[in-house]
Amino acid sequence: MAYDGRGGQHRVWASTQSIWGTLLRFSDDFGKSWTNPQEAAIRFPSDSGVSLKNIWQITLGPPDEPDVLYCGVEPAALFETHDAGETWSLVRGLFDHPHRHRWMPGNGGLALHTIMLDPADKQRMYVAISAGGVYRTDDGGHSWSAQNRGIRVTFMPVKYPEFGQCVHKIAMHPGRPERLFLQNHWGLYRSDDHAENWTDIANGVPSDFGFAIVMHPKNPDCVYIVPVESDEFRCTCDGRLRIYRTRNAGASWEPLIRGLPQKGAHETVLRDGMTADALDPVGIYFGTRSGKLFSSTDEGRTWQRILEGLPPVVCIRSAVVEDASLSSAPTLTKAASSSVPSRSKPLATSKSRRTKR
């Protein structure tokens, strides 16, 4: 799922999957109606030998190129459009990489699940693949290099291979694009040199296994994660639902628990199950596989459960949208994507507080 407000539009993109295949749809009225394509716009060329299984990530292009979008798919590949989704093309530089045939599927499949554009260099982009690792292009997608130096692998004989890492998520602050944070399949890392080298920053967390990792939109030293117990038991540690935050780029971490259940809370937050808004103070939102939705309107200091009874939440996004019906405040639109059609819940906001509408 992605929200696209470029060029004055209010477009929500989402992928859906059924027995008829995987389709990319969009809504221009906040989900009241959706496009219903008769055939899949994203599909592999006939000579590729593979077929589309799922769309894992929808990423907007640069702000000044409103017709550009990218999709990461399963089996692991990258697609791009330059006409607002009318037509899509396979990025052959990555698909034809000599490593591709040795990438291995993770627990959820062989997926390209993260796409990150460098706001300071239009030619540079990062992708994360489970299980292939981090790859970077410096020439607009024509060539790609594995960027996994320092990332440990626990399920292979070689502990620090060139590629093959099961990277769960990477994050970047646009104000400091040379620095990236990474949540691995066992491992929590930071790079300060465009992913050339990675340093372990799992300092004081109950587990370095997890999925979601989210940047504070205004503080490049502040990151949020959700540690889970292990790859065998993928739930929050000790049955306590705790969000961990660093405000010093990983030198130390602190648990954020006020308002979150601390007994019998065996929850899982997936890689796209947490997000932040751009308001002041910043809001943080996350959903669980058990169908609960939580929010904090004070950067994680306190939390409240705002919805439950949903199907498993696999993706959550937020967007600040100007609403002419509200004379003094923007509207924060929050959407949680799950295994059935998504639900959305708008919140009217002001500088002093957010109130449900």
Domain ranges of the chain: 2-268
User: pLDDT, tens digit, for every residue of 143-189?
Assistant: 999 999 999 999 889 999 999 999 999 999 999 999 999 999 999 99
The answer on pLDDT for 57 being more than 80 is yes
Q: For residue 281, report the phi and psi dihedrals to the nearest 5 degrees.
A: -70, 160
Query: Which pLDDT belongs to residue 345?
Result: 39
Query: Which pLDDT belongs to residue 343?
Result: 35
The answer on pLDDT for 313 being more than 50 is yes
Q: For residue 24, report the phi and psi dihedrals to the nearest 5 degrees.
A: -100, 125
What value does the mean pLDDT take over residues 315-332? Answer: 70
Query: Which pLDDT belongs to residue 324?
Result: 58
User: 197 or 325, which is more confident?
Assistant: 197
Q: What CATH architecture does domain 2-268 belong to?
A: 7 Propeller (2.130)
Confidence of residue 320 (pLDDT cuts 50, 70, 90): confident
Query: Which pLDDT belongs to residue 321?
Result: 83
Say what the alpha-carbon torsion angle 83, 320, 118, 98 is, to the nearest 10 degrees.
-60
The answer on pLDDT for 65 being more than 80 is yes
| pTM tops 0.75, yes or no | yes
Q: Tell me the residue type at 160.
A: Y
5 torsion bin: left (phi>0), alpha (psi -120 to 50), beta (else): alpha
Mean pLDDT, the chain, whole residue set:
91
What value does the mean pLDDT take over residues 26-55? Answer: 95
Q: pLDDT exceeding 90 applies to what percent of the chain?
A: 85
CB atoms within 10 A of CB 320: 16
Token pair, residue 332, equals: 């924060």
Beta-carbon contacts of 270 under 8 Å, excluding residues fewer than 6 positions away, are 211, 212, 289, 312, 313, 314, 315
Query: Which pLDDT belongs to residue 351?
Result: 34
Kindly state the DSSP code that residue 283 receives in the 8-state scheme. P
Q: Tell me the residue type at 280.
A: D
Query: Which pLDDT belongs to residue 330?
Result: 52
Distances (CA, A) of 304 to 189, 257, 269, 301, 340: 29, 10, 16, 11, 24
Query: Which pLDDT belongs to residue 19?
Result: 87
Distances (CA, A) of 330 to 255, 270, 276, 299, 325: 31, 29, 16, 19, 9
d(CA 237, CA 230): 8
What value does the mean pLDDT take over residues 28-56? Answer: 95
What value does the mean pLDDT take over residues 288-295? Answer: 98
Q: Per mean pLDDT, which range of 96-105, 149-158, 250-259, 319-328 is the poorest?
A: 319-328
The answer on pLDDT for 197 being more than 70 is yes
